[in-house]
Amino acid sequence: MDQNGDTTRDKQRAVPRGRAQRFGKFARLAGGVAGNMLAHGTAQLAAGKRPRVKDLLLTPKNALRLTRQLAEMRGAAMKLGQILSMDTGDLLPRELADILATLRNAAYAMPDAQLQEVLVQELGPDYEAKLKHFEQRPFAAASIGQVHKLSTRQGQPAVLKVQYPGVRESIDSDVDNLASLLKVSGLLPKHMDMTPLLAEAKSQLHEEADYEQEARYLKAFVRALGEDERFLLPRVIPHLSASRVLGMTFVHGVPIEDVAFEKAEERNRVAALLFELLMIELFELRLVQTDPNFANYQYNHDTGQIVLLDFGASRRFSAALVRGYRDLLAGAVDGDRAAMIKAAEAVGYQLGPEGSLYQETLLELAEIVLVPLTVNAPYDFGNSPIPQQLMERIEPLKSDRSFWEVPPVDVAYIHRKIGGLFMLATRLNATVNVHEILLPWLGES
Check if the beta carbon of residue 222 is closer than 8 Å to that of residue 235. Answer: yes
Measure the CA–CA gap between 362 and 370, rounded to whole angstroms: 12
Among residues 440, 428, 433, the alpha carbon closest in space to that of 272 is found at: 433
- Annotated catalytic, 193? no
Q: Name the catalytic one among 2, 174, 291, 327.
A: 291
Please write down the HEC assignment for all residues of 8-54: EEEEECCCCCCHHHHHHHHHHHHHHHHHHHHHHHHHHHHCCCCCCHH
CA atoms of 212 and 189, how far apart (whole Å): 37
Residue 92 phi, psi (nearest 5): -70, 155
Could you tell me which residues are beta bridge partners of residue 432?
379
269-270-271 Cα angle (round to 5): 95
Interhelix angle 195-208/171-185, nearest 10 degrees: 150
Strands 306-308 and 231-232: parallel
DSSP annotation of 408 reads P
Nearest to 419 by CA among 375, 354, 362, 368: 368
- C-alpha 57/C-alpha 54 separation (Å) is 5
6 CB-contact burial (10 Å; exposed 0-12 / middle 13-18 / buried 19+)? exposed
β-bridge partners, 147: 140, 161
Nearest to 54 by CA among 71, 65, 70, 41: 41
Residue 148: closest CA among 7, 291, 306, 330 = 7
CA 28/CA 32 separation, integer angstroms:
6
Active-site residues, by number, are 291
